[in-house]
Structure 1
Amino acid sequence: MANPIERRVRFEMQGVLSAVVCFGLLSAIALPPLPIYGLDIYLVTLCAPLVALLVFATWSSAPVFQISALFPLALGIMVCVSALFSWHFQFSSVNARDIVEAIKYLQFVPYLLAVPFLSRRTDKFFHKALKFSGIVVAVVGFLQAFGMGGLVSSIYLGPDSAHLDSALSGHRITLTGSDPNVGGVIAAFFCAYYFSQYSVSRKVFSLFLFFVFMFLCFATQSRTALLALIFGLSVYYLFFFRVFVFYKVFFLAFGFFLVFFLVFFLDLSYVYLGFQDALAGRNNSVNVRFDNLSNAILRFKESPVIGVGPAKSSFSTVIDSEYALIVQRYGLLGVFLFFGYVFYLFRLSCSGVSGVWGSCLLMFTMMAFLVMLTNNIFSGYQLMSFVVFLHIACVLNQRFKGRGQAVQPA
């Protein structure tokens, strides 16, 4: 039985750990990367060792293992195994950057190991921190949309970014993302979050914020993000949103009409001309992705089980499609591990779909299926933080709900 001093120390440790976990994960979305030795490094990576130290300090008194931490751990090990296999069979030359690629996944292991040591108050802290991050994203987005985001765009994108000019002109804004597509997915995530809030609380202000971020998603002119948002919202609205069937059909039809209206009203020529060119086979962006997929299949045939590894010294590091990236770099092993994690997230979201976190994770998982066609979710530098954030929030909500302490929406 712990004495009052030990309980107080443990309580304070939980508070510190919750703050560091939340700050680390959301810093990848709300804060710009730090230029260190020519590399842009997000704070989520730099905070990971601190989270690990706090976890192990707490673990010494109450050892508990979070089993779902095995997913990013397995993905990190997969990268190393594929790289070593590729070097051994000379698919690529030895390059330390291939092993460094594993950090993208391994950095999230401490965050998930922290889950058993987070208290019930973490849930409200997560809501508040996410809303604050949303304010930062929205402010940056509107500054860019109205042509006033010169300084912030330079800070978030860097002076050498190929997307800086379009962000400065407001033609294709990037929000706090590294490019318009990442920015579009960030806006789509906040659409899912605030629609989940509205679904649970029916507060009109949540619906208003949903439309604010929908506008920002449109302003990025990311075709993939827009389609993913429509798909994720439609799946959730049709099968899980609590309302009469007549209203579902009516508002779904109205929603599709609104989307088409906004595309032309806001003069989003990049969106509708891109779709027209894609149907005619003239869209260079789509054609490049088809070429990358074709090359990925050829390399998959060379090494179908473990893939050819990151192979950064032999093949292009820009693959554009996460499906192509998984098949090429990690073969069937990668397919099994990645989609095993996606299936776990889908089940986790379904078990808590009546709450904010579960419904948000469900929509974001649905979005991911489309986003991965042309961009990276799990293998990127920013969007994986959303996945782990929702993963932790859903596990916490499930844990306390199981104890008869259902977490109320913020």
Structure 2
Amino acid sequence: MFWNTGVTRTNSNKLLLILAIMLSAMLLPSMEIRSTLPRLRLDDVLLFGVFALNVLLWLIYRSPSEYNLGLSYHEDQSRAVRAVSNVFLLFLGSMVLSNLFAAIFLRTPFSVRDIMEGVTLAKYYLAATLALSLDLQEGEFSVLCKTFLVGLGIILVLSWSQFLNIANVNAWLTPFFAQSHLDNLVNANPPRVLGTFDNPNVMGIFAVLTLTLFVTMFYFRENERLKAVLLFVAVGLTIKLTFMTISRTALLATALVLTVLSLWALFKYRWKKDMLLKVGALFLLTLLIFFTSPREFTTRINEATDLGNSTSAQGHFLRAGNAFEYIKESPILGWGTAKKTMTTLVDDEYALVTRRYGVVGLALYFWLFLRPVKAALEKVRLFNFSASDQGIRETKTMLCIAFVAATAAVFVYNITAGIFYNLQLMTLFALFMGLIYRIEGENF
């Protein structure tokens, strides 16, 4: 496997690359090189650049055994690579088939922009395979966790600065991340934060994905009292961050995540007193944060319950409307990517994928997410929660539980937006996917 050769032969170098990509996806916006070219991200450069360098080194030093393109690796990694490759190749195949069908039978023109769809999928594949190539032990997990918390801390500080406009940050720093949503921040009442992302809704779902990790560790892991308190505080800060974005989709995803994980924990631990106290504490904390939010916040949330008069809901329906008309005309294989002739602004990723690749492509799109969920559930089922001193096995099981809840949140988010076409979110999620695939391949 290409991550086991060249500059990423060692586990430490793989970890450093993962950390750099993770921080880039969390903290940095895309950069414009030229107005006629797609915007570029640092994590794009890192992934494709190191991959190309590894291939180059293999071509130069392909005679020594250590530069065999990494094809000699452990069986657990081999199983993981086969699984993730099959899933990505199936989705890529549906893309190619739909574009061929559209070009031949529907006379839909194919452009250079459409090729970028394959490049995007290749990026996520590289991110997933990089993560699964990592031998995740306690030391590596500790570094990953601490680095993620540093990045999250920066996001929290910036988000509160945007909310309160500390040092007039919305005039000189916020535009660095998103010029188009400044009115939502500066002029809105109350302001909507977007942290280091380009949209408050993206910031909201990132906070929900982070919430799944904290809640999972709070419920399912044996924690000392101090660590339990710190996790409780982290959950509160993350929920508050979600509320500060005033993203109604993210709030719905928050409710789903808390419900799923709470019920899961209650049934797993047979409604024990300690778990009832934990679930009750998080429920009260969520209510406290909700009812202490500004009145304008609750007004915006209540607006979402009246779909007939909600301008936001009507806007989503209008942007998705044309997609449904096209789907009726070609439901099986879709119209191909068709970026040259059709809009890419469809506020429903399921509708956009179906319009492009038909129900066949939609099924394989779902499989892209559900295949690692299947693996995660199987590992959770096999884990003995009553045993003591589980170490890294317990940590990996926690990641599996969090991934299942995170995928549920993503499925909600895709109704009014979409993760696949957001390079920041999907890069982070692809790294998460890769860890789950590697955990699946391991025997424990």
TM-score, normalised with respect to structure 2? 0.79
Q: 1:96 to 1:197 in 2, by over 3 A?
A: same
| Among candidates 15, 34, 38, match of residue 37 of structure 1 | 34
2:204–2:250 contact (8 Å) kept in structure 1:
yes
Specify the alignment match of 1:407 in structure 2: none
What letter matches 2:174 in structure 1?
Answer: S
SS at 1:34's partner residue? coil
- Counterpart CA distance in 1 for 2:333 and 2:107 is 12
Query: Could you give the per-residue CA deviations for residues 326-378 of structure 1, whole angstroms, max 9, x where no partner exists?
Result: 22111112122111122212212223446331122011011112111111012
Q: 1:328 to 1:368 in 2, by over 3 A?
A: same
Once the two structures are overlaid, the 10-residue window that deviates more, 146-155 or 366-375, is 146-155
Specify the alignment match of 1:28 in structure 2: 25
Specify the alignment match of 2:306 in structure 1: 279
- Counterpart CA distance in 1 for 2:425 and 2:298 is 22
Specify the alignment match of 1:72 in structure 2: 88
| Among candidates 155, 161, 170, match of residue 176 of structure 2 | 155
- Mapped pair 1:245 → 2:271: yes
| Among candidates 334, 337, 351, match of residue 324 of structure 1 | 351
Q: Which runs of 5+ in 2 are unaligned?
A: 59-66, 381-393
Query: Could you give the per-residue CA deviations for residues 178-199 of structure 1, whole angstroms, max 9, x where no partner exists?
Result: 1010000111122112222323
1:72–1:108 contact (8 Å) kept in structure 2:
no
What letter matches 1:234 in structure 2?
Answer: T
Once the two structures are overlaid, the 10-residue window that deviates more, 358-367 or 233-242, is 233-242
- Counterpart CA distance in 2 for 1:11 and 1:90 is 45
SS at 2:157's partner residue? helix
| Among candidates 185, 202, 219, match of residue 182 of structure 1 | 202
Q: 1:317 to 1:239 in 2, by over 3 A?
A: same
- Mapped pair 1:232 → 2:272: no
- Mapped pair 1:60 → 2:76: no
2:348–2:414 contact (8 Å) kept in structure 1:
yes
- Counterpart CA distance in 2 for 1:147 and 1:344 is 43
Once the two structures are overlaid, the 10-residue window that deviates more, 213-222 or 292-301, is 292-301
- Report matched runs for 1:257-296 at 5 Å: 259=286, 261-267=288-294, 269-270=296-297, 272-276=299-303, 278-279=305-306, 281-296=308-323
SS at 2:423's partner residue? coil
User: Percent identity, aligned pairs only?
Assistant: 21
- Counterpart CA distance in 1 for 2:210 and 2:183 is 25
- Counterpart CA distance in 2 for 1:384 and 1:186 is 10
SS at 1:175's partner residue? coil
Q: 1:11 to 1:292 in 2, by over 3 A?
A: closer
Q: How many residues align?
A: 393
Specify the alignment match of 2:404 in structure 1: 362
SS at 1:279's partner residue? coil
- Counterpart CA distance in 2 for 1:254 and 1:30 is 31
- Mapped pair 1:19 → 2:10: no
- Counterpart CA distance in 2 for 1:194 and 1:394 is 17
- Counterpart CA distance in 2 for 1:399 and 1:152 is 44
The alpha-carbon deviation at position 282 of structure 1 amounts to 0.8
What letter matches 1:365 in structure 2?
Answer: T
SS at 1:178's partner residue? coil
1:192–1:360 contact (8 Å) kept in structure 2:
yes
The alpha-carbon deviation at position 231 of structure 1 amounts to 0.2
- Mapped pair 1:131 → 2:131: no
- Mapped pair 1:380 → 2:401: no
Q: 1:92 to 1:259 in 2, by over 3 A?
A: farther
- Mapped pair 1:298 → 2:358: no
SS at 1:36's partner residue? coil
SS at 2:39's partner residue? strand
Specify the alignment match of 1:96 in structure 2: 112
| Among candidates 129, 137, 145, match of residue 163 of structure 2 | 145
